[in-house]
Amino acid sequence: MQFTEEMFARHMRPINGSAIREIFKLLAKPGMISFAGGNPSNTALEPEVVSGLAREALEKYGTTLLQYGATDGFNPFRESAAEFLRGSMVNCEAEDILPTQGGTQAFDVLLKALIDPGDAVLCESPTFLGAIQAMREYNAKLIPMPTDDQGVIVEAAEELIKAHHPKLMYVIPTFQNPTGITLSLPRRKALAALASKYGVVIAEDDPYRDLRYSGEPLPTIQSFDEEGWVVYMSSFSKYVAPGLRVGAAAIKNPVLRRKMVIGKQSADTHSPLLNQAIVDAYIRKGLMPGHLERICGDYRQQLNCMLDQMKLLPEGTVHTVPQGGLFIWAALPEGMDAMEVFNRAVAHNVAFVPGTHFYTEGGHLNTLRLNFSMSDIPTIREGMARLAEVIRG
Amino acid sequence: MQFTEEMFARHMRPINGSAIREIFKLLAKPGMISFAGGNPSNTALEPEVVSGLAREALEKYGTTLLQYGATDGFNPFRESAAEFLRGSMVNCEAEDILPTQGGTQAFDVLLKALIDPGDAVLCESPTFLGAIQAMREYNAKLIPMPTDDQGVIVEAAEELIKAHHPKLMYVIPTFQNPTGITLSLPRRKALAALASKYGVVIAEDDPYRDLRYSGEPLPTIQSFDEEGWVVYMSSFSKYVAPGLRVGAAAIKNPVLRRKMVIGKQSADTHSPLLNQAIVDAYIRKGLMPGHLERICGDYRQQLNCMLDQMKLLPEGTVHTVPQGGLFIWAALPEGMDAMEVFNRAVAHNVAFVPGTHFYTEGGHLNTLRLNFSMSDIPTIREGMARLAEVIRG
């Protein structure tokens, strides 16, 4: 017998992997300046600190960290994660916390718990392309919600809820990926109210929240939710280290949390204990505030530099002015094609992500996403100059 | 709105979690002797070694281990895992390896890649209850294959393939969970031939293979597969440490591997790099052979002790005599109810897993699974004496 495309599950047949991850393969070229990724800066990573915390954790907990653990999580980590999230205006206790493999897994097990093939899921337009792929793998019907410079347009979202009866709404409220836009306070309240009014679970994906360089933190959507409709998904990838794969979801609804735990049980039994213990120690030792202050100081300068360099792009280019996060979003003048620019840019050793990949329906060919966290100031200047030159043609 | 059971995906509604994991909660009681788990012995775990390897890896690779990594895996680990698996008679190169979160995740992403709701999957009867739960979460139609003391009965399997046209067959060929039985050499060849003849993917779940206490190693089913039908799933949970959650699947079919990589991308982005680097170093430094020899020496004595103590169980009890692994499987005289025995046993501080949980269709109430790896010799003697007393009533 021959292995054929029909062997695959129907929903998996058309999915050929994240465009970003394909783009990454082009970036190994020496001399490449990449504004494409969503990585923290290498200077934000602390191998010696992690090594010390790993040693201390293994001394403290011994074989406990090497044995099987509970799917619900390593309790010291659940406690410290809950404390950290309360500091981010999330209403939670240790028992609400499910440790996950980055924020990614929280959404995966939430989809597994809720979605039957064909179920509608609302998401921002544009949105994180990894989330688009995850929703497609569960054969969800993706319904894009219109957005403006304050995030999701609530009235439009309500009409879409009435029309499509979604089980789930996926929102990145703070320094959104890809746009960098932050959902306004009134809209946060309004989305929480919609969830309760119509019985829609909100996946509040908030991994950039503490990378704020100006303005005041806003309460989470979850903080306005009194009935357990919001699953708050955080991650330590952007704050400590993505390679450790440590995230934490806060799930107040015990029935939903239980189903997510069951889904995770079959997915990976439990999250690795050493990794949970490292992040637990990072929080408990009080390393987070100083670390965030340091990296935010650097990222603020990088953002400001890139914002300043946006003037090099063609007249008629518009872009967001984020207060934090990792990304600036730009629209070149109508009629320009960022995919075509991308191919020439890579040949000239500068890269970004064409914006079309962030739309469930494609199109929007003139848009692009620029990352500033991975490049220092001189590199941002050089890369933006190269990009401007490529666009001029 | 109220959150109701109907909010959940249809396949998740009836699933309430692994019976074993519920049983685990009863085992925290002080004085409990547990033959219920599938854990390695605490004496097999080496926190100091892991701590040293973590430090060396972070010194060697620095920020690379803390950044985002490739979904395909950390290449040094893929190389050493391939070398390790070749030593286990698996036909593979580094490029065939997908690192996974224990063996659990390999099966999860394989199911995600292949299974549409209602697709048939063949599995041994009885089989690992975690796998039963995973298959149910993908809404697979579970078809149990009859087994005897040589493993799956091939003629029966072929009839079931003709009747149900399964996409997938799940087999634990070596020291099977729960029975401890090893699939014979001719049957290994025959199953590989069936896969090719009928176009069925075989998930060869082989996490106990190197825990062999007598007899000679047999070639893997995968080694007889010339067309890429077999996905070989290994894990370092039983060899190094389950808490690290490091497994490795060997997938020769590049199209299938790619779809599994895509499924993993959405599930967790990638496996944590530090954990892959620790196991990589464990293999590269040549620590595995001596470690396996040491733990197999201990486990052999524990197995032999428990086999000897089986004589305490009621006349008419039959049990397997495994050559390795972690489990002995027993059937009490017909009419006895291991669930009822279990409840009394826990009250008398001794636990096991009632065998009914390992059958897709339930029943087989007189069967039970006994683990010997977690208890030392005096504990096995004491626990078996208690169990025998409880059964006598």
- Asked whether B244 and A69 are in contact (CB, 8 A), the reply is no
Judged by CB atoms closer than 8 Å, whether chains meet at B47 and A59 is answered as: yes
Alpha helices in chain A (DSSP H): 19-26, 47-61, 75-87, 102-114, 129-137, 154-164, 185-198, 254-268, 273-284, 287-309, 338-347, 377-392
What pLDDT sits at residue A19?
Answer: 66
Judged by CB atoms closer than 8 Å, whether chains meet at A21 and B71 is answered as: yes
- Residue A180 and residue A54: Cα distance in Å, rounded? 34
Q: Span A326-340, mean pLDDT? A: 97
Task: Check whether A161 has a pLDDT greater than 70.
Answer: yes
Judged by CB atoms closer than 8 Å, whether chains meet at A68 and B242 is answered as: yes
Structural domains in chain B, CATH included, are 5-45+289-392 (3.90.1150.10), 66-286 (3.40.640.10)
Residues of A in contact with B61 (CB under 8 A): 47
Residues of B in contact with A205 (CB under 8 A): none
Which pair of tokens denotes residue B320?
């397997």
Task: Check whether A25 has a pLDDT greater than 80.
Answer: no
What pLDDT sits at residue B120?
Answer: 98
- Residue B72 and residue B75: Cα distance in Å, rounded? 8
Closest CB from B21, B58, B119 relative to A47: B58
Judged by CB atoms closer than 8 Å, whether chains meet at A116 and B10 is answered as: yes
ipTM metric: 0.97
CB-based contact, A130 to chain B, within 8 Å? yes
Backbone φ and ψ for B128, nearest 5 degrees, come out as: -55, 125
Q: In angstroms, what separates the C-alpha of A10 from chain B's closest C-alpha?
A: 7
Q: Span A188-210, mean pLDDT? A: 98
- Residue B368 and residue B354: Cα distance in Å, rounded? 4
pLDDT tens track for B128-176: 999 999 999 999 999 999 999 999 999 999 999 999 999 999 999 999 9
Tokens 């004491």: give the residue: B382
Point out which residues pair with A97 in neighbouring strands.
A250
- Residue B229 and residue B231: Cα distance in Å, rounded? 7
H/E stretch holding B156 reads helix B154-164
How many residue pairs from chains A and B have C-beta atoms closer than 8 A? 266
CB-based contact, A314 to chain B, within 8 Å? no
Closest CB from B1, B42, B245 relative to A268: B245
Residues of B in contact with A254 (CB under 8 A): none
Task: Check whether A141 has a pLDDT greater than 80.
Answer: yes
pLDDT tens track for A71-118: 999 999 999 999 999 999 999 999 999 999 999 999 999 999 999 999
Q: Render A305-363 in DSSP notation, one character per residue.
A: HHHHHGGGSPTT-EE---SBSSEEEEEPSTT--HHHHHHHHHHTTEE-EEGGGGSTT--
Q: In angstroms, what separates the C-alpha of A46 from chain B's closest C-alpha?
A: 7
Point out which residues pair with A14 in neighbouring strands.
none
- Cβ under 8 Å to B: A residues 67-86: 67-71
H/E stretch holding B261 reads helix B254-268
Which pair of tokens denotes residue B127?
């089989």
Residues of A in contact with B69 (CB under 8 A): 243
CB-based contact, A316 to chain B, within 8 Å? no
- Cβ under 8 Å to A: B residues 246-305: 253, 255-256, 258-259, 261-263, 265-275
Q: In angstroms, what separates the C-alpha of B28 from chain A's closest C-alpha?
A: 12
Closest CB from A17, A39, A59 relative to B262: A17
- Residue A329 and residue A177: Cα distance in Å, rounded? 9
Q: In angstroms, what separates the C-alpha of B56 from chain A's closest C-alpha?
A: 9
Judged by CB atoms closer than 8 Å, whether chains meet at B62 and A47 is answered as: yes
Contacts of A29 (CB under 8 A, 6+ apart): A346, A349
What pLDDT sits at residue B21?
Answer: 65
- Residue B152 and residue B126: Cα distance in Å, rounded? 10
Q: What is the CA radius of gyration of chain B?
A: 21
Judged by CB atoms closer than 8 Å, whether chains meet at B1 and A167 is answered as: no
Q: Span A370-385, mean pLDDT? A: 98
- Residue A102 and residue A236: Cα distance in Å, rounded? 7
What pLDDT sits at residue B3?
Answer: 84
Q: In angstroms, what separates the C-alpha of B95 from chain A's closest C-alpha?
A: 16
**Closest-CA residue in chain A for B262?**
A17
Task: Label each residue of B277-341 as H, E or C.
Answer: HHHHHHHHCCHHHHHHHHHHHHHHHHHHHHHHHHHHCCCCCEECCCCECCEEEEECCCCCCHHHH
CB-based contact, B108 to chain A, within 8 Å? yes
- Asked whether A231 and A110 are in contact (CB, 8 A), the reply is yes
Which pair of tokens denotes residue A186?
């009134």
- Residue B170 and residue B203: Cα distance in Å, rounded? 5
pLDDT tens track for B96-116: 999 999 999 999 999 999 999
- CA separation (Å) from A77 to A49, A55, A81, A240, B273? 17, 16, 6, 14, 20
Closest CB from A37, A51, A266 relative to B55: A51
HSE of A255 in the Cβ direction (CA atoms, 13 Å)? Answer: 15
Point out which residues pair with B212 in neighbouring strands.
B324
Contacts of B162 (CB under 8 A, 6+ apart): B198
Task: Check whether A160 has a pLDDT greater than 90.
Answer: yes
- Residue A330 and residue A317: Cα distance in Å, rounded? 7
Judged by CB atoms closer than 8 Å, whether chains meet at B244 and A59 is answered as: no
- Asked whether A129 and B294 are in contact (CB, 8 A), the reply is no
Task: Check whether B189 has a pLDDT greater than 90.
Answer: yes
- Residue B52 and residue B161: Cα distance in Å, rounded? 49
Residues of A in contact with B11 (CB under 8 A): 116
Q: In angstroms, what separates the C-alpha of B69 from chain A's closest C-alpha?
A: 6
Residue of B63, B100, B237 to mutate for A, most A C-beta atoms under 10 A: B63
Task: Kindly report the average pLDDT of chain B as a whole number.
Answer: 96
- Residue A244 and residue B275: Cα distance in Å, rounded? 8
H/E stretch holding B130 reads helix B129-137
Residues of B in contact with A198 (CB under 8 A): 1
**Closest-CA residue in chain A for B260?**
A12
DSSP state of A212: B
Percent of chain B with pLDDT over 70: 98
Buried b (16+ CB within 10 A) or exposed e, B222-254: bbbbeebbbbbbbbbbbbbbbbbbbbbbbbbbe
Judged by CB atoms closer than 8 Å, whether chains meet at B2 and A256 is answered as: no
Residues of B in contact with A243 (CB under 8 A): 64-69, 272-274
Judged by CB atoms closer than 8 Å, whether chains meet at B3 and A47 is answered as: no
- Cβ under 8 Å to A: B residues 179-218: 196-199, 201
Task: Check whether B191 has a pLDDT greater than 80.
Answer: yes
Residues of A in contact with B48 (CB under 8 A): 58
Q: Render A295-316 in DSSP notation, one character per residue.
A: HHHHHHHHHHHHHHHGGGSPTT
DSSP state of A219: P
What pLDDT sits at residue B20?
Answer: 67
- Residue A357 and residue A367: Cα distance in Å, rounded? 10
- Cβ under 8 Å to B: A residues 212-241: 227-229, 237, 241
- Residue B145 and residue B157: Cα distance in Å, rounded? 6
Edge-first strand order for the sheet with B120-124 is: B97-100, B247-251, B230-235, B201-205, B168-171, B120-124, B141-145
Assign B25 a pLDDT band (cuts: 50, 70, 90). Answer: confident
Judged by CB atoms closer than 8 Å, whether chains meet at B261 and A45 is answered as: no
DSSP state of A179: T
User: 3-state DSSP call for residue A59?
Assistant: helix
Task: Check whether B64 has a pLDDT greater than 90.
Answer: yes
What pLDDT sits at residue B18?
Answer: 65
- Residue B260 and residue B254: Cα distance in Å, rounded? 10
Which pair of tokens denotes residue A94?
């240790």
- Residue B320 and residue A374: Cα distance in Å, rounded? 58
What pLDDT sits at residue A21?
Answer: 65
- Residue A352 and residue A369: Cα distance in Å, rounded? 6
Contacts of A371 (CB under 8 A, 6+ apart): A34, A35, A36, A37, A38, A39, A326, A327, A352
- Asked whether A332 and A317 are in contact (CB, 8 A), the reply is yes
Closest CB from A42, A115, A265 relative to B133: A265
CB-based contact, B49 to chain A, within 8 Å? no
Q: In angstroms, what separates the C-alpha of B207 from chain A's closest C-alpha?
A: 14
- Cβ under 8 Å to A: B residues 1-30: 1-3, 7-12, 15-18, 21
Task: Check whether B308 has a pLDDT greater than 80.
Answer: yes
Task: Check whether A389 has a pLDDT greater than 70.
Answer: yes
Residues of B in contact with A104 (CB under 8 A): 266-269
Closest CB from B40, B47, B68 relative to A65: B47
Residues of A in contact with B116 (CB under 8 A): 9-11
